Structure formats: C-alpha cells, structure tokens
Chains A and B, each alone.
Chain A
Amino acid sequence: GEDVEQSLFLSVREGDSSVINCTYTDSSSTYLYWYKQEPGAGLQLLTYIFSNMDMKQDQRLTVLLNKKDKHLSLRIADTQTGDSAIYFCAERMDSSYKLIFGSGTRLLVRP
C-alpha cells in the first residue's frame, strides 16, 4: 500500500548536524520532496530530489536517496534554532501522480 514513514521526533543541539529519515513504498516514485512546517504556518517546500539522483546539496541541506532501500534522508548542517519545525517527506506516486506525505518529524534545536 501507499505509506511514507518518518520518526516522530528529533532533538539536536544548536550547531550540530540533524539527520531526518524517511522510508517510502513506491519504488517507481519519480520525485521525493522535503517540506518544512513552522508553528502556525503552512508547509514550505525545502527541496526535492529526482529518483535518478543519489544526492542533492543546497546550502546547508543535503538530501540522500537510497532507491534500493527506499530510504530518503535530509541532513541539515550547522542546525540553528530557526530550524525548529516539523519536517515532512513526500513521494509522488507515478501510478496516480498523487503526493503521499509522511506524518512529519518534529525537530527541536536546543541552544
């Protein structure tokens, strides 16, 4: 079935790296996305990766994709208190073009 799974919570110290993990089910998914949701706000697209890529880097963000294991991760370097938010991964189902979201990982950055 369609399912995207994430761990619920991650706590890191300011300045450390954060790694948020996600597993998905559709091996034919073409695009995988990371969204950020700050308190009281909508979801903001952070980055995405195309399925023929293993890695994508964008400033402090690094996305790693392991297609064999259907595992996606988001690494945030030098994590800041402003990075505290809920992070959602989402896969695009190529069979239906629907976006399937995970339940979100709450990142808490401690000073």
Chain B
Amino acid sequence: EAQVTQNPRYLITVTGKKLTVTCSQNMNHEYMSWYRQDPGLGLRQIYYSMNVEVTDKGDVPEGYKVSRKEKRNFPLILESPSPNQTSLYFCASSVGQGAAQYFGPGTRLTVL
C-alpha cells in the first residue's frame, strides 16, 4: 500500500530535550516536505527536499533541522524544543515539487 508514515504519532516532551520525528514514504517520490498545522494558520511549510541530499528552508524553518540521506526517509529534528513548537506536524511527499502531495497521518507534539 502506497503511504507516508510518521513516528511517533504523539509525543510529549520537555523544553530542550532533543527529539526526532521520522517520516518514510514507499512511493519512490523525489519531493518530501514537513509542515506544521496550528489553529487558524493552516499549514505552514518548515523544510522541503527536492531529492537526496537536497534540502531547503520553507516558511518557518527556525528551530528545526532535516536530513535526506535516503530517498524514502526525511526526518525532522528539533535540537532544543521550545513550547512554541507545540503543534501538529505533517510529512508529505510527491513525485515532484508542486505536484499533488500525499500526507502522513500527523505527529502531535507537546513541548512543556
């Protein structure tokens, strides 16, 4: 089954404790992206990757890092999480930039 998976689905952590949210797709998509969803703000892009070893900042990259060592995986790293990073995070992939994106189920992160 073609899908985008994210782990964990729910995470509660404390300020400053490094965490990684994993994202994996099995559709051989070149383009992958991370979004955060906050009430009243819709989806805002954090980082995206056009292909392996090619990543770039989205609209709200501060406080986040990503890597794309393999085509299927695109982890989101929060080196020192802060409460304003409490949000619902979505990973997405597509055959190319601007093409219809397929979304993961989301990761709800709470930073205390």
Q: Which residues of A contact B (CB under 8 A)?
A: 4, 8, 30-31, 33, 35, 40-45, 48, 88, 92-94, 97-99, 101-104
Contacts and interface: CB of A to CB of B under 8 A. Distances in A.
A98 B50 CA distance: 11
B91 to A, nearest CB: 9
A41 to B, nearest CB: 6
Contacts of A40: 105-106
B42 A45 contact: no
A41 B98 contact: no
Contacts, number: 49
21 contacts: A4-B42, A31-B98, A35-B103, A40-B105, A40-B106, A41-B106, A42-B4, A42-B90, A43-B43, A48-B100, A97-B97, A97-B98, A98-B45, A98-B58, A98-B98, A99-B98, A101-B42, A102-B42, A103-B40, A103-B41, A103-B42
Contacts of B81: none
Range, interface on chain B: 10 to 19
Contacts of B90: 42-43
Of the listed residues B58, B97, B98, the one surrounded by the most CB atoms of chain A closer than 10 A to its CB is B98
A94 B98 CA distance: 8
Interface of B: 4, 35, 40-43, 45, 58, 90, 92, 97-98, 100-106
B104 A42 contact: yes
Contacts of A43: 43, 90, 92, 101, 103
